[in-house]
Amino acid sequence: MTTYNCQYCGRECANKSGQTLHEKKCKSRSQHECIPKEPSMRTMAFIDAGQFRPAILINKLGLPSEKRFDWDLFRQLLVDMAGGQLFDTHYFDSPEIGTNRQAPFHRLLKNTLNFNLHFSEMKERRVVCSKCNQTHIDNEQKGVDVSLTVVMMALAYRNAYDQALLCSGDGDFAPLVEHLRHALGKRIVVIGWKSNIATTLKDAAYKVVHIDDHRDELISNKIRKMAEAC
């Protein structure tokens, strides 16, 4: 004997027409109907090295000698925050003058993690010590903020992304974030340290994420010599 059951609640009906009539009014129908999913947002990450260099990460996270900041885990965190595919990650830095100490670290970012690297000029300046009155040479980072702004803006105008993960706390980026959000309709998530995110940047962002809150997710044992990766 042929039976006719509701595809939503399983109730048995006497005939096909009864099944059809029941299904139209079935209370369980709404739970089973296909609800279109919101399309995932095309996401890119933009990292300001001024707050995400190895030495800074060690200091901020208070890492002991046997632990390191794991850049693979950090990239996975960015993917999780993207809520879908992370199309590209851009890292903006200024190499130190007269040294290649950062070269292994930059190779890790480029060759292993497939980050896009952008380098700006590093200038020397003379600084007079207020205590001993002696003059010494200091390196000053130039152009990283401008480079990040130009790249982030250019990609936005090309409609290359819907959402940006801005890894920085610099208040100088607040006007950029406001423009991207309100003029171009981009969603900007700011990722930085609790103590280092400017109020103006917090107010401009769609959302703020504190790296401090993810400390345990981002560190691993230093099982091999990887000073370049903290």
For residue 5, what pLDDT is reported? Answer: 72
- The model's confidence at residue 139, banded by pLDDT at 50, 70 and 90, is very low
For residue 27, what pLDDT is reported? Answer: 61
- The model's confidence at residue 129, banded by pLDDT at 50, 70 and 90, is low
For residue 184, what pLDDT is reported? Answer: 97
The residue that leads in pLDDT, 10 or 215, is 215
- The model's confidence at residue 36, banded by pLDDT at 50, 70 and 90, is very low
Question: Minimal CA–CA distance to 108: which of 230, 215, 191, 221?
Answer: 230
Angle between helices 144-157 and 174-182 (to 10 degrees): 0
**What percent of the chain lies above the pLDDT cut of 70?**
71
Q: In this model, does residue 138 exceed pLDDT 70?
A: no
Question: Minimal CA–CA distance to 87: which of 150, 148, 163?
Answer: 163
Average pLDDT, the chain: 82
Q: Average pLDDT in the 161-187 region?
A: 97
Could you report the per-residue pLDDT of 83-115, keeping only the tens digit for each? 888 999 999 998 764 456 778 999 999 999 999
Helix (H, G, I), strand (E, B) or coil at 27: coil
Q: CA distances (Å), 120 to each of 31, 128, 147, in order?
A: 54, 25, 7
Rounded to two decimals, the pTM is: 0.73
Q: In this model, does residue 71 exceed pLDDT 60?
A: yes
Could you report the per-residue pLDDT of 199-227, keeping only the tens digit for each? 999 999 999 999 999 999 999 886 544 44
Domain 43-229 has CATH 3.40.50.2000: no
Residues 6+ apart with CB under 8 A from 21: none
Q: In this model, does residue 189 exceed pLDDT 50?
A: yes
